[in-house]
C-alpha cells in the first residue's frame, strides 16, 4: 500500500494535477507519520494527520459569514489566512479594555494580558478563562504550530507559541483583524 500511494503521488505531480506546495505538505505529513510510527503511536495510514473536531456554539453557513464579514476578515477568520505583520489596527493599541472575536463578539483577552512581543501581531500571555479559545494542531506550510480559534464560532484567530517572555511562558499571536476592541468605560 505504501508503494501504491507513493506511485500515485508521483503520478499526480508528474501530470501536474497538484501543485508543488501540496506535494510539500504531503511529504511533510508522511514524515510526521514516520515519526508517529517510530513511537508506536496510532495514526491514520492515508498520509493525513488526525484531525480533532471541537463543538461550536455557533454554526453559520459560509454564505452568511461572507455577508457579515469584510473580504479580508473572511479570508483570515474563516479561511485561516494571516494579515501582514505590523499592519493591524490593534497591534499598537495601548487602551484598557476587552478584545473580542470579530466574527461573534466572544470575549477573548483583556488589555492586561497584552504585551509587545515585536512579532508584528498583537500578543497576549493568556486568555480569558472559561474555554473561550480552542487549540488545534496545525501542520500547514511545513511547520508544526498550534492554531487558536474562537470556541464560540470556530473562527481562526492566530497561533500560540511557547516562547512568551512573561511568567506564563506562552505567546498568543493573534491577527488584529480577527478581533474587535471594546474600550473600558
User: Order of strands, edge to edge, in the sheet holding 133-138?
Assistant: 114-115, 123-124, 171-174, 156-161, 145-150, 133-138
Residue 94 within any structural domain of the chain: yes
Q: What is the pLDDT of residues 69-112, one digit of tens each?
A: 999 999 999 999 999 999 999 999 999 999 999 999 999 999 99
CATH of the domain at 159: 2.170.150.20
Instruction: Judge if 78 and 20 occupy the same domain.
Output: no
Residue 4 has pLDDT above 90, yes or no: no
Rounded average pLDDT over 139-165: 94
Count of domains for the chain? 2
Active site residue: 101, 104, 153, 173, which one? 173
What pLDDT is stored for residue 30 in this prediction? 52
Instruction: Judge if 100 and 33 occupy the same domain.
Output: no
What pLDDT is stored for residue 172 in this prediction? 97
Q: What is the pLDDT of residues 31-67, one digit of tens each?
A: 554 444 444 444 333 333 333 444 557 788 999 999 9
C-beta separation of 103 from 112 below 8 A: no
C-beta separation of 128 from 79 below 8 A: no
Q: How far is CA 62 from the centre of its chain?
A: 18
Read off the pTM. 0.69
Query: Is 101 considered catalytic here?
Result: no
Instruction: Judge if 113 and 158 occupy the same domain.
Output: yes
Q: What is the pLDDT of residues 108-147, one digit of tens each?
A: 999 999 999 999 999 999 999 999 999 999 998 888 999 9
Residue 27 has pLDDT above 90, yes or no: no
| Pairwise CA distance, residues 172 & 164, whole Å | 8
Amino acid at each position: 500500500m505504501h508503494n501504491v500511494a507513493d506511485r500515485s503521488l508521483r503520478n499526480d505531480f508528474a501530470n501536474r494535477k497538484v501543485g508543488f506546495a501540496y506535494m510539500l505538505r504531503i511529504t511533510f505529513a508522511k514524515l510526521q507519520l514516520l515519526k508517529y510510527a517510530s513511537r508506536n503511536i496510532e495514526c491514520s495510514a492515508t498520509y493525513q494527520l488526525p484531525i480533532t473536531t471541537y463543538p461550536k456554539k455557533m454554526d453559520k453557513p459560509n454564505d452568511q459569514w461572507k455577508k457579515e464579514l469584510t473580504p479580508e476578515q473572511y479570508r483570515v477568520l474563516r479561511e485561516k489566512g494571516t494579515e501582514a505583520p505590523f499592519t493591524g489596527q490593534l497591534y499598537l493599541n495601548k487602551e484598557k479594555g476587552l478584545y473580542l472575536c470579530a466574527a461573534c463578539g466572544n470575549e477573548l483577552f483583556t488589555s492586561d494580558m497584552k504585551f509587545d512581543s515585536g512579532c508584528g501581531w498583537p500578543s497576549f500571555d493568556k486568555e480569558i478563562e472559561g474555554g473561550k479559545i480552542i487549540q488545534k494542531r496545525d501542520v500547514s506550510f511545513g511547520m508544526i504550530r498550534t492554531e487558536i480559534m474562537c470556541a464560540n464560532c470556530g473562527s481562526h484567530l492566530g497561533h500560540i507559541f511557547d516562547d512568551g517572555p512573561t511568567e506564563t511562558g506562552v505567546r498568543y499571536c493573534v491577527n488584529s483583524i480577527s478581533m474587535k476592541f471594546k474600550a473600558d468605560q
